[in-house]
Amino acid sequence: MGSKNKLKRFKENETFSNVIQPTREMLTEADFQYKGKWNADFFKNDQPIILELGCGKGEYSVGLAQAFPEKNFIGIDIKGARFWRGAKTALEEGLDNVGFLRTQIELIDYAFAENEVSEIWITFPDPQIKYKRTKHRLTNTGFLQKYKKILKPDGVVNLKTDSEFMHGYTLGLLHGAGHEVIYANHHVYKNEGAPKEVTRIQTFYEKQYLEKGKPITYIKFRIK
């Protein structure tokens, strides 16, 4: 994507009513205006809130919002030029149950209050395979504790990935730490039983992975 195109999308994001772009200081040095108030002040309803972390182009957030109008969805990514597409599509289709938050995932507990979130989706994250990158894996122990803090007591996390490494790493960590693995599938398009929202919604990159014959894996779990 050219720099001019990126700048154009950044500018357009600033006009979108469904995009929130706080600075790091706004999150960490003061009470963020939507923290604990996403239902009341942003969505203006009391529907469950579901997050997509590292939402990319926002395809999954928008797809889930279309499939579940009785729930609220927030796509989170630091790259605003990417989720511009999802935000624009949501506005064009009049989807008022989906929004986008531009921030880093490690700041998530500054953006949401305790027990404010019902569910989290992590879709095709960078597996950060090198050992020195362990701290950046979105299912490491540090991130799981942040998720637990903002999730309701019965809240769940969904991990969908093309990375066998990420799938195996996460399953091992969950079992080792005594978390509850509700469902696991190492090939959702081959093995039966995957929830409809796992196979019905496909991102641009997922379609490329499938064309190459890569298995898509899925885990649903609850953090103890």
**Which residues are marked as active site?**
126
> Half-sphere exposure of residue 51, counting CA atoms within 13 Å on the CB side?
27
68 contacts 60 by C-beta, under 8 angstroms: no
What residues does 120 pair with on adjacent strands?
A: 51, 157
Residue 83 sits at the vertex; the CA angle it makes with 189 and 203, to the nearest 5 degrees, is: 10
Residue 100 phi/psi, 5-degree rounding, is -135, 135
The closest alpha carbon to 78, from 50, 106, 99, belongs to 106
Q: Which two tokens stand for residue 203?
A: 């991102």
If you count DSSP H runs as helices and E runs as strands, how many of each does the chain have, helices first? 9, 8
- Neighbouring CB atoms inside 10 A of 4's CB total 8
> What is the identity of the amino acid at 61?
S
Place of tokens 């706004």: 26
